[in-house]
C-alpha cells in the first residue's frame, strides 16, 4: 500500500524534472527553399460520398523544394483528413510517388484510408499524367484518374490601404477597409486561392474533450480560437500546441479516465481502435498539462510560411470542446506583432523576421493548471504612439513598444474583465477602458495614453451580458460608444435572486467627451442566443440577436430595417431557417453583409445580404448557407473566429490551416 501511495508523488517529481530540463527561451524558424503549389484537376476525384461516376476535383499540392509541404483536396467531404505518409516528390521531370491519407468522421473515428499514386510529367509550367487511387475502409475501391494542371501563380497584390491588423478590423467595428472592390453576389462563386503551408490546429468547436478524448485521433489537438489578421501583405495567426516535455500527472485525473488512457488500459484501447503511432500521440497530447504558444506569419498571396515563433510552456493546454471564454488575437502595428497569450501575458515579435522582442509580464514560471483559464480580458492590445496598452486583472498598463517596460500603470475598478478601445476626441487619441462584472454596473474610464492619468471615470449601467465576458460587446464609432447593456428585474423577495428569464438586453449609445458620457439612445429588447454581436458601418449599427439582425441609425437609434428569421436561407417548404444562433459573426464589406449565423458547433457557413437597410436582400442560394470546401472549425462560445476580408480576399481559419478565397466580382 505504501508503494502505491508513492505513485502520484513520483509522477509529479518526474514532471518537474522534465520541466526544469525544458528550454523555455522563445525560438523562431524561417523556412528556406523554393515554395511552389501545383494545381491539378482530376477527372475522377476523391470524395466521401461518391462511388460510381466520380466527378472532377481540383487538388493543390504544395512543395518546399522537392518535398511535399501540404495539400488541399477541395470539397472532399470527410470531416477530417490527415496525412499518414508520403513519398511524393516534385522534380524537373514532374510529380512522382504516393500520398497516403486517413479520413475521419466528426467523432474522430477512422472511416477510410486513401492512397494516391502520382505519375505526372512536367513541361515547363504545365503538368499532365495519371493518378492511381485506392480507398479502403468502409469498402475497397480502386480507380485511375487522368490529371492535368499547372503551377499556381501568386495571387494578385493587395491594395496597400487595405488592412485588418487586429480582432475587429481596421476601424474596430468589423467593417472592411473602405473603397474595396465589388464582391460576388453569391458566395458559392468565390474562388479558392490557397491553403497555408503551416498546419493550424483545430479550434474548440471541433476539438476533442475529456469526455471523448478518442476524437483527438482524428481531429488532433485543439489550439485555441484566435483569429487570423492581415497587415501589409502578411497573414498572422496565433495558437497553442501541447508541450511534450512535461508528462501527464494521472493522479489528478478521474479514475475512469486514468484507467482508460494510461497503463494497460490505454494499451488495450490502442489495440481496439487500431491507432497508428501519430494517432496514439495525438490522444496522449490531449492529456498533457502545458502547451507552447505559437505565432505564424505567412505570405498573403501564396500561403507560404515566412516565420514561426514558439514561446515554450507559456499556456495551459486546454483541450476541450466547450471553452466559454475569450482568446487573444494579434495586433500588428509599428513593425511588431503583439500577441495576447492564453495566460494573459503579451508577447512581442518583429513583424518581418519573427524575432522575439519582449513579453509582459516577464516569464518566471509555468501557468497554473488547477482550473481552466478564461482567456485575456480584451482580444487585441492597443498601440497609442509609442505606448502599448494592455490590462491585467485590475490594472491597465502602458508599455514601451520597443522594450515592453512599464511606462505607467492605472489601477482601474476591480472588474473580472476589461474591454480596451481607442477613441479620438477632437485631436486627442485616448484609451477607453470598460470594466465588466456579473450583475454589477460597469465603469467606463478614459485614460491619457501618454501619462496614464485618468481623465474621467463614470458608471454606465450593466454593459455586456449577464453570462460573462464576450468578445464583441461594444464598439467605438467616432465620438460614440455603442454597446449591449442588460437590465435586471427586481430581486425576488422570496428567493433573493433575479429571475433570469426577465433580464432584457438592449443596444445603447453614448456620446463621449473630454468630461464624460452623455446617454443618447437605447433600443428595445433584443433577444440573443448566447453571445451578442454587433458591427458598425456607414452610420448604421448592425445588432445580431437570436434569429435576427436589426439595423439602427447610429445617431438616433431609430430602427432602419430588420432581417427576420424567414428571410434567412431555408429549404423550400421547410421552417428550418439558417438564421443567427450561438456565437455569430457579421462583417460589413462594401455594400454587403457577410454573416456566419452560427460559430459554436463546428460547422461554419456563411450567408450574404445587401447591406442597405432599405433592402437587406438575401443574395445567392436561398435554401442553404455557403459552406466553404475546406476542413471546417469554429470557436465555441462568446468569441467568434473573425475571418478578415481584405481587398476582396477572405482569410478563413479552417480545421487544419488558414484558407484564402477570392470574393471579388469579375
How do residues 570-580 score in pLDDT, each as one tens digit? 999 888 999 99
Instruction: HSE, CB side, 13 Å, CA atoms: give it for residue 315.
Output: 30
Q: Please report how many Cα atoms fall inside a 13 Å half-sphere around the Cα of residue 434, on the Cβ side.
A: 29
Neighbour-count burial of 147, counting CB atoms closer than 10 A to its CB (0-12 exposed, 13-18 middle, 19+ buried): buried
Q: What is the pLDDT of residue 95?
A: 96
Do 240 and 98 lie in one domain? The reply is no
Domain boundary among 125, 151, 177: 151
**Chain mean position to CA 564:** 27
Percent of the chain past pLDDT 90, that is, above it, reads: 81
Claim to verify: residue 227 and residue 333 sit in the same structural domain: yes
What percentage of the chain exceeds 70 in pLDDT? 96
**Closest-CA residue to 446 (of 389, 402, 490):** 389
* Element at 406 (helix H, strand E): strand 406-411
CA 17 to mean position of chain CA atoms: 34
Q: Which of these three, 98, 133, 151, is where a domain ends?
A: 151
- Length of the chain, in residues: 666
Residue whose C-alpha cell reads 477607453 in the numeric block: 432
Q: Do 360 and 471 reside in the same domain of the chain?
A: yes
pLDDT bin (cut points 50, 70, 90) of residue 7 is very low
Cβ atoms of 648 and 662 within 8 Å: the answer is yes
CB 200 within 8 A of CB 657: yes
What's the confidence (pLDDT) of residue 52?
72
In a domain, 9, yes or no: no
Domain match, 519 and 423 both: yes
Residues 491, 360: one domain?
A: yes
What confidence score (pLDDT) does residue 22 get? 62
Confidence of residue 666 (pLDDT cuts 50, 70, 90): confident
376 confidence band (pLDDT: 50, 70, 90)? confident
pLDDT at 451 over 60: yes
User: 645: how many CB neighbours lie within 10 A of its CB?
Assistant: 27
> How much helix, strand and coil, in percent to the nearest 5, is found in the chain?
10, 40, 45
Question: In terms of domains, do 383 and 504 share one?
Answer: yes
Question: Does 333 have pLDDT greater than 60?
Answer: yes
With contact defined as beta carbons under 8 Å apart, do 643 and 651 qualify? Answer: yes
Average pLDDT, the chain: 92
First vs last C-alpha separation in the chain: 75
Quick one: pLDDT band at residue 10, thresholds 50, 70, 90? very low
State whether 306 and 208 are in the same domain: yes
* Residue 211: other Cβ atoms inside 10 A: 10
Return the C-alpha cell found at 314: 507559456
Scored b (16 or more CB within 10 A) or e, 456-467 reads eeeebbbbbbeb
Strands 67-73 and 57-64 come out as antiparallel
Query: Domain check: are 131 and 243 in the same one?
Result: no
Residue 72 and residue 204 share a domain: no
Mean pLDDT of 556-561: 98
**Which of 159-163, 398-402, 581-585 bottoms out in mean pLDDT, i.e. has the lowest?**
581-585
User: Tens digits of per-residue pLDDT, 172-198?
Assistant: 999 999 999 999 999 999 999 999 999
Which has the minimum average pLDDT: 88-97, 407-416, 510-519, 623-632?
407-416
Task: Record the cell numbers describing residue 658, joined without a space.
Answer: 488558414
Q: Which of 96-100, 397-401, 461-465, 626-630 has the lowest mean pLDDT?
A: 461-465
Q: Please tell me the distance from the alpha carbon of residue 516 to that of residue 445, in angstroms, as a whole number.
A: 9
CATH number where 444 lies: 2.130.10.10
Does residue 167 lie in a domain region? no
Residues spanned by the domain of 601:
187-215+222-247+288-662
Query: Which whole number is the average pLDDT over 518-534?
Result: 92
What is the DSSP track for 58-114?
Answer: EEEEEEETTEEEEEEETT---SEEEEEEE--EE-SSEEEEEEEEEEE-TTS-EEEEE
Task: Give the Å distances, CA to CA, from 434 to 360, 415, 421.
Answer: 21, 9, 8
Q: Cell numbers for 68, please give them.
A: 511535399
Would you say residue 532 has pLDDT above 70? Answer: yes
Q: Is residue 263 part of a domain?
A: no
pLDDT for 298-309, tens place per residue? 999 999 999 999
Give the pLDDT band (50/70/90) at residue 249: confident
Q: Is residue 1 part of a domain?
A: no
Q: Does any domain span residue 435?
A: yes
317 falls within a domain: yes
Q: What is the pLDDT of residue 63?
A: 97
314's torsion region: left (phi>0), alpha (psi -120 to 50) or beta?
A: alpha
Rounded distance, CA 69 to CA 534, Å? 38
**SS3 state at 48:** coil
Same domain, yes or no, for 69 and 210?
no
Considering only 82-86, 436-440, 532-536, which range has the smallest mean pLDDT? Answer: 436-440
Tell which of 151, 171, 204 closes a domain. Answer: 151
Burial class (CB in 10 A: 0-12, 13-18, 19+), 25: exposed
3-state secondary structure at position 161: coil
**Could you tell me the CA-to-CA distances from 152 to 63, 74, 113, 194, 645 in Å, in that order?**
12, 15, 28, 9, 22
Beta-carbon contacts of residue 457 (< 8 Å; ≥ 6 apart): 413, 443, 444, 445, 446
Residue 9 in this model has a pLDDT that exceeds 80: no
Residue among 162, 223, 256, 194 nearest 62 (CA): 194
pLDDT tens per residue across span 268-320: 999 999 999 999 999 999 999 999 999 999 999 999 999 999 999 999 999 99
Relative to beta strand 480-487, strand 474-477 is antiparallel
Q: Which three cell numbers stand for residue 448?
A: 491619457
Average pLDDT for residues 536-551, to the nearest whole number?
A: 97
* pLDDT above 80: residue 18: no
For residue 463, the 8-state DSSP code is: B
Query: How do residues 64-81 score in pLDDT, each as one tens digit?
Result: 999 999 999 999 999 999
Is 101 found in the same domain as 191? no
Q: Nearest 5°: phi and psi at 132? A: -90, 130
Give every CB contact of residue 446 below 8 A, 6+ residues apart in sequence: 423, 430, 431, 432, 433, 454, 455, 456, 457, 512
For residues 589 and 605, what is the distance between their CA atoms, to the nearest angstrom? 17
Structural domains counted in the chain = 2
Q: Is the pLDDT of residue 469 over 80?
A: no
- Shared domain check, 353 and 300: yes
The reported pLDDT for the residue numbered 225 is 95
Q: Which three cell numbers stand for residue 638?
A: 462568446
Task: Tell me the average pLDDT across 23-33.
Answer: 96
Residue 411 lies in a domain: yes
Main-chain phi, psi angles of 104, to 5 degrees: -130, 160
Residue 369 domain-assigned (yes or no): yes
Amino acid at each position: 500500500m505504501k508503494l502505491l501511495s508513492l505513485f502520484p508523488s513520483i509522477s509529479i517529481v518526474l514532471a518537474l524534472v522534465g520541466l526544469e530540463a525544458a528550454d523555455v527561451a522563445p525560438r523562431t524558424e524561417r523556412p528556406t527553399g523554393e515554395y511552389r503549389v501545383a494545381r491539378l484537376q482530376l477527372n475522377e476525384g476523391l470524395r466521401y460520398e461518391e462511388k460510381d461516376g466520380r466527378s472532377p476535383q481540383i487538388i493543390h499540392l504544395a512543395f518546399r523544394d522537392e518535398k511535399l509541404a501540404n495539400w488541399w483536396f477541395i470539397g472532399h467531404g470527410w470531416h477530417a483528413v490527415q496525412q499518414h505518409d508520403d513519398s511524393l516528390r516534385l522534380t524537373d521531370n514532374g510529380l512522382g510517388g504516393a500520398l497516403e491519407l486517413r479520413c475521419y468522421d466528426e467523432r474522430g473515428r477512422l472511416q477510410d484510408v486513401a492512397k494516391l499514386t502520382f505519375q505526372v510529367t512536367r513541361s515547363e509550367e504545365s503538368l499532365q499524367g495519371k493518378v492511381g487511387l485506392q480507398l479502403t475502409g468502409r469498402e475497397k475501391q480502386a480507380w485511375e484518374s487522368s490529371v492535368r494542371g499547372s503551377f499556381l501563380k501568386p495571387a494578385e497584390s493587395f491594395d496597400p490601404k487595405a488592412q485588418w491588423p487586429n480582432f475587429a478590423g481596421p476601424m474596430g467595428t468589423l467593417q472592411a477597409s473602405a473603397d474595396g472592390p465589388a464582391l460576388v453576389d453569391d458566395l458559392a462563386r468565390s474562388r479558392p486561392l490557397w491553403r497555408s503551408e503551416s498546419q493550424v490546429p483545430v479550434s474548440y468547436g471541433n476539438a476533442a474533450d475529456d469526455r471523448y478524448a478518442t476524437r483527438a485521433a482524428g481531429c488532433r489537438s485543439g489550439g485555441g480560437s484566435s483569429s487570423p489578421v492581415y497587415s501589409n501583405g502578411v497573414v498572422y495567426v496565433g495558437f497553442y500546441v501541447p508541450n511534450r516535455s512535461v508528462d501527464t500527472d494521472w493522479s489528478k485525473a478521474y479514475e475512469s479516465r486514468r484507467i482508460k488512457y494510461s497503463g494497460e488500459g490505454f494499451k488495450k484501447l490502442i489495440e481496439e481502435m487500431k491507432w497508428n503511432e501519430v494517432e496514439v500521440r495525438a490522444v496522449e497530447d490531449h492529456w498533457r498539462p502545458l502547451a507552447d504558444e505559437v505565432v505564424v506569419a505567412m505570405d498573403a498571396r501564396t500561403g507560404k510560411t515566412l516565420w514561426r515563433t514558439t514561446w515554450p510552456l507559456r499556456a495551459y493546454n486546454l483541450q476541450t470542446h466547450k471553452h466559454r471564454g475569450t482568446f487573444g488575437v494579434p495586433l500588428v502595428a509599428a513593425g511588431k506583432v503583439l500577441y495576447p497569450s492564453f495566460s494573459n501575458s503579451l508577447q512581442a515579435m518583429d513583424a518581418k523576421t519573427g524575432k522575439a522582442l519582449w513579453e509582459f509580464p516577464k516569464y518566471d514560471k509555468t501557468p497554473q493548471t488547477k482550473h481552466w483559464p478564461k482567456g485575456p480580458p480584451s482580444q487585441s492590445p492597443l498601440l497609442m504612439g509609442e505606448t502599448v496598452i494592455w490590462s491585467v486583472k485590475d490594472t491597465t498598463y502602458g508599455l514601451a513598444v520597443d522594450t515592453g517596460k512599464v511606462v505607467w500603470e492605472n489601477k482601474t475598478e476591480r472588474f473580472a474583465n476589461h474591454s480596451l478601445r481607442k477613441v479620438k476626441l477632437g485631436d486627442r487619441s485616448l484609451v477607453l477602458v470598460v470594466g465588466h462584472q456579473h450583475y454589477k454596473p460597469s465603469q467606463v474610464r478614459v485614460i491619457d495614453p501618454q501619462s496614464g492619468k485618468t481623465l474621467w471615470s463614470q458608471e454606465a449601467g450593466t454593459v455586456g451580458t449577464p453570462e460573462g465576458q464576450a468578445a464583441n460587446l461594444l464598439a467605438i464609432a467616432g465620438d460614440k460608444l455603442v454597446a449591449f447593456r442588460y437590465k435586471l428585474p427586481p430581486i425576488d423577495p422570496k428567493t433573493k435572486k433575479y429571475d433570469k428569464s426577465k433580464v432584457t438586453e438592449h443596444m445603447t449609445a453614448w456620446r463621449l467627451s473630454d468630461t464624460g458620457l452623455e446617454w443618447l439612445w437605447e433600443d428595445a429588447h433584443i433577444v440573443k442566443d448566447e453571445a451578442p454581436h454587433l458591427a458598425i458601418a456607414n452610420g448604421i449599427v448592425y445588432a445580431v440577436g437570436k434569429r435576427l439582425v436589426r439595423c439602427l441609425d447610429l445617431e438616433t437609434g431609430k430602427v432602419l430595417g430588420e432581417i427576420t428569421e424567414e428571410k434567412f436561407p431555408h429549404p423550400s417548404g421547410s421552417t428550418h431557417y439558417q438564421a443567427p444562433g450561438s456565437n455569430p459573426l457579421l462583417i460589413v464589406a462594401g455594400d454587403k453583409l457577410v454573416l456566419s449565423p452560427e460559430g459554436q458547433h463546428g460547422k461554419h457557413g456563411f450567408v450574404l445580404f445587401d447591406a442597405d437597410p432599405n433592402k437587406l436582400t438575401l443574395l445567392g442560394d436561398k435554401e442553404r448557407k455557403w459552406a466553404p470546401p475546406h476542413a471546417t472549425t469554429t470557436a465555441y462560445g462568446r468569441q467568434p473566429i473573425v475571418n478578415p476580408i481584405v481587398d476582396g480576399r477572405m482569410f478563413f481559419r479552417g480545421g487544419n490551416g488558414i484558407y484564402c478565397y477570392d470574393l471579388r466580382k469579375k
